[in-house]
Structure 1
Amino acid sequence: MDRYLKALVCATLLLIFCGARAQALPAAVNTDPARAAVTLPEPANPALPSLILIGDSTVRNGHDDGQGKGAAGQWGWGRPLADYFDPDRINVVNRAVGGLSSRTYLTSGHWQRTLALVKRGDVVVMQFGHNDASPVNDDGRARGTLRGTGEETATIDNLLTGQRETVHTYGWYLRRFIADIRARGATPVICSPVPFKRWDADGKVRRAGADYGGWAAQVARQEKVGFIDLNDLAAGRYDTMGRAAVIALFPQVQPEETVHTNLAGARLNAEIVVAGLRAQGVPPLVAALNEKGRAIAPADDARPVVEANRIGRPADPALPTLFVVGDSTVKSGATNGMVGWGERIAPYFDTAKVNVVNHAIGGRSSRTFYTEGRWNDVLEQMKPGDAVLIQFGHNDGGRIGDPAMKRRASGPGTGPETVDDPRPDGSVERVHTFGWYMARYVADAKAKGATVVLLSPVPHRDRWLSERDFAEFAEWDRRVAAAGGALFGDLTLAVTEGYREVGAATVDGFFADARTHTNDAGARFNAATVVAVLRTLPGDPFRSWLKGR
């Protein structure tokens, strides 16, 4: 009996010990993402296109609830991203999983389950990198990838899973996702990883251009897919805000946290992603933006740009509105001393009788102002009795398909001819003539009951003296206006004649750069010329709005 009791006691102690040890080491089991019980959302309406996100905890953190700490907790940018889209037009499906790398998102099976939801017309945004720098093989996470974008491999006996595995480079996994997405008829977009809350010796936020940010960009270029440099764009915002403001974007209850933002930081990153997605010009996304999303300016090139969320709406909705549409010669926002004439035209109008709203933005052509959805933003504000001044041409020239033209060149002329322009995401954009886009603006605005004036472009600093600048664009504008029932003003010629009156020495003082953008004095001169042109239009349509009449 004593021997039996001793054996029973020993067995009981062994069970207690094993149970306690099992409770003490749960991480050894749960760190294998293939075994993790993760519930991820699916498209709410499978009939709609979907914007699907894959990535790590900086995209979707934990259970996507701030760990019960509300806005002060850790949040990924994928959660607030949905706030910029209309759920009746698109599903925003955040399938990112915390703790994963590009490698383990694939090997865990999460990618296969996500890919099953991807259909033709969807957009898949991927952001990995933070966890790819981890060890390639250990018994904790075993999630690291080989550095770079090449075809190098390493065969390991995975200490976590117990399986033999061939590990590839970071770039290889991104290319695998891209190939799978394209095979489903969907559009892939790469984001570089969000920056850390860390500063360099010069006080600037550290960038990842030398590793994961740069490698993400390299894959995007190689595969010709859309790319959002979230790392550099967010770091630039951080630098502008200052260190104290950046710290406030991270959980205050965790001052040591350098990777995961709070909800405010997630919202800032989401805005940058929306700006990048708008710049991609993918039709399902542009069409599905809600009012909040349309207020975010597309990520831009180096041209002078005024953010779209700074563009006002009519101050008094009961009054008629004069809208101004164009490029950076119309609105530059004083960037590097550059000012467009549209920024100096309002004082000529009686604000008790009309609103003046300038929707022009730098770097845009007749084509891109239309394809980026900016014209729809104008139309949504337009009503009967309004008017719109439209000036494009500076960015419409060049060869369609030439990367140097940044996909903004339109076709020459006013005819129905088209040219197919392959986009980096693998889709094809059908590009029309300059006149086709201008005619579309005329028809849309007139359907709203508005008066339309097409203005030929202001002349270059280095061409007005020797030749007739923008002669073809002026002729195309004239033809479109005549055919569509709009008004035409030869602003190129009017400004040229004004320049000749004041002389070359004075005109040189009107410019902020070598040939295109005026300074404040030049903008005021051109604005006065625009008003003079308006006063000569048939029927004098602006008579009641202009001061001094």
Structure 2
Amino acid sequence: MIPTIYIAGDSTAARKAAFETPMTGWGEFLHEHVGPDVRIENRAVNGRSTRSFLAEGRLAEIEQDFQAGDFLLIQFGHNDQKIEDPARYTDPHTDYRQNLKVFIDSARSRGGFPLLLTSVSRRRFTADGEPDPEAVGAYPQATREVAAETGTPLLDIFASSQELYRSLGAEASMQLFMHLPPGSHPNYPEGIADDTHFSKIGAQRIAQLVAQAMEQSAGLLLHPYLRV
């Protein structure tokens, strides 16, 4: 049986509707980095945190299809930050960590393989021109710690995306995100300046970072299916 890679996450990874284009989630391009012997199931959904993804039964929907030997990529954090919304907010030191462990245990209990991804960074620079290490708050570090505690493979996409933004600089890195002037696209007639959600180019670059991180992760059983 061909294994499946499931993506559980938020709008940074999710497939976008026609009315949202050219906004693109990185999960839409992960298929370019795997061979024909593995399937991609992008179950990421706009606006979800670990709390709301679980509460809405979205992990339960994955569990209905998940088979032994499948992989579960887990990336949240952006919406877990929304302290003003109790339906989504999680404390990075308590609830968020426990919720990540629910995802990990779900995959393992079904004979599958969980992978934790740190939150992809927002495009935010400090006054000295460096990517802001607090661009997604305490959530990337909490994810790293849960990975260490549970022995789960970690793909540090926060770190690699920040290095990408650093290499491009504050101005050139805008091309990775949804920055459009008024009148340039019918879906955004008034323009948009969004440093969280990706353009097609940005989604492609982040998907490449995810694939490279999988390729570099020691002992990961996904290696035979990658083409990086």
State TM-score, norm by structure 1: 0.37
Partners of 2:137 and 2:52 in 1: CA distance: 22
Cα distance change, pair 398–363 in 1 and its aligned pair in 2 (3 A): closer
Query: What is the Cα deviation at residue 466 of structure 1?
Result: 4.1
Q: Structure 2: which amino acid aligns with 1:444? A: S
Q: Which runs of 5+ in 1 are unaligned?
A: 1-317, 415-432
Please show how residues 389-428 of structure 1 align to structure 2 within 5 Å: 389-399=73-83, 402=84, 405=85, 407-414=87-94
Is 2:201 the counterpart of 1:521?
A: yes
SS for the counterpart of 1:383 is: coil
> How many residues get paired?
208
Shift, 1:338, TM fit: 1.2
- The one-letter code matched in structure 2 to 1:459 is S
TM-superposed deviation, 1:521: 0.5
Shift of 1:482: 2.1
Larger radius of gyration: 1
- AA in 2 matched with 1:467: D
**Structural RMSD (CA):** 1.7
**1:336-358 Cα distance to aligned partner (Å, 9 max, x none):** 4211111111111112x111110
Q: In the alignment, residue 374 of structure 1 is paired with which amino acid?
A: R
User: Do 2:73 and 2:115's aligned partners in 1 also have CA atoms closer than 8 Å?
Assistant: yes
In 2, Cα distance between equivalents of 1:466 and 1:397: 19
Corresponding letter in the other structure for 1:395: N
- Bigger relative CO (Cα 8 Å, ≥ 6 apart): 2
Taking the aligned partners of 2:28 and 2:15, their CA distance within structure 1 comes to 8
- Are residues 1:325 and 2:8 paired? yes
Separation in structure 2 between the aligned mates of residue 346 and residue 463 of structure 1, nearest angstrom: 31
Residue 124 of structure 2 corresponds to residue 467 of structure 1:
no
Match of 1:358 in 2: 42
Task: Tell me if 1:508 matches 2:191.
Answer: no
1:186-220 CA distance string (max 9 Å, x none): xxxxxxxxxxxxxxxxxxxxxxxxxxxxxxxxxxx
- What is the aligned partner in structure 1 of residue 65 from structure 2? 381
Q: What's 2:150 paired with?
A: 484
Instruction: Identify the residue that residue 347 of structure 1 maps to in structure 2.
Output: 32
| Conserved? CA contact 2:153–2:220, under 8 Å | no
Distance 2:142 2:209 in 1: 21
Of 218, 222, 226, the match for 1:538: 218
Candidates 162, 179, 190, aligned match of 1:496: 162
| Equivalent residue letter for 2:51 | R
CA contact (8 A) 1:443 1:484 kept: no
* Counterparts of residues 172-211 of structure 1 (less than 5 Å): none
Which letter maps to 1:344? F
Matches for 1:109-124 after TM superposition, within 5 Å = none
1:331 partner letter: A
> Are the equivalent residues in 2 in contact too, given 1:365–1:394 (CA < 8 A)?
yes
Q: Indicate the SS of the match to 1:515.
A: strand
Shift of 1:449: 1.1
**Cα distance in 2, alignment partners of residues 487 and 449 from structure 1:** 15
* Residues 387 and 466 of structure 1, relative CA distance in 2, 3 Å threshold: closer
Q: Which amino acid aligns with 1:494?
A: S
Identity %: 30
Q: Is the 8 A contact 2:82 2:89 kept in 1?
A: yes
SS at match of 1:541: coil
Contact 1:332 1:338 in 2 (8 A): no
CA–CA separation in structure 2 for the residues paired with 1:505 and 1:348: 28
Contact 2:100-2:146 at 8 Å conserved across structures: yes
Aligned residue number for residue 454 of structure 1: 116
Deviations 1:100-156 (A, max 9, x none): xxxxxxxxxxxxxxxxxxxxxxxxxxxxxxxxxxxxxxxxxxxxxxxxxxxxxxxxx
SS across alignment from 2:105? helix
- One-letter amino acid of the structure 1 residue matched with residue 145 of structure 2: R
Say if 1:391 and 1:455, in contact at 8 Å, map to a contact too: yes
Equivalence map 1:17-56=2 (5 Å):
none
Counterpart Cα distance in 1 of 2:92 and 2:199: 30
Distance 1:502 1:541 in 2: 32
